[in-house]
A and B are shown apart, each in its own frame.
Chain A
Amino acid sequence: SYELTQPPSVSVSPGQTARITCSGDALPKQYAYWYQQKPGQAPVLVIYKDSERPSGIPERFSGSSSGTTVTLTISGVQAEDEADYYCQSADSSGTYKVFGGGTKLTVL
């Protein structure tokens, strides 16, 4: 079955830039989506179609894509950004959805 690979954890100091990667063979063909999840809460969509930002999401959140890797970048990280982040995409057919394993962002 298709898999997306994320680093388990990323740590940054406040004000720095955090980059979270997600790798998968079908990413050149399928869009990626990013979610933020805080403890005890439902996920929130923060990036769609690789690099688009939903309304209400701060400008410090951005996304990019290069080959089989997509990246979520959080510029000027704030304490409130500490959360788990998940990428999502689909297999090469576009039929079956899949989530990455998640990355825990720690703000030092």
Chain B
Amino acid sequence: DAGVIQSPRHEVTEMGQEVTLRCKPISGHNSLFWYRQTMMRGLELLIYFNNNVPIDDSGMPEDRFSAKMPNASFSTLKIQPSEPRDSAVYFCAGGRGGGSGELFFGEGSRLTVL
């Protein structure tokens, strides 16, 4: 098993550009989470899905952020338009159900918005 796969690993873009981050969870994991990590705020939950259905997106900072999970093996997090304050490491994580179980994290996508 290859684990949770995220792409790109690094993205440098200019303010105003659209950014799309991708995640392939581990097969059989029915919960998927998007977290953002910064020095100041630590790991923040942005949104999570159960069985491909968005359950809670209250952590999405604003309408510029959107996430989709069209099927059990793929999810995207999109930022449009991007701003310098969006610079962070974005993690995708999966698990077998809810929060009271092990989460398996990808290696993250480091986003820098100039």
Same complex: no
Interface residues of chain A, those whose CB is within 8 Å of chain B, are none
Interface residues of chain B, those whose CB is within 8 Å of chain A, are none
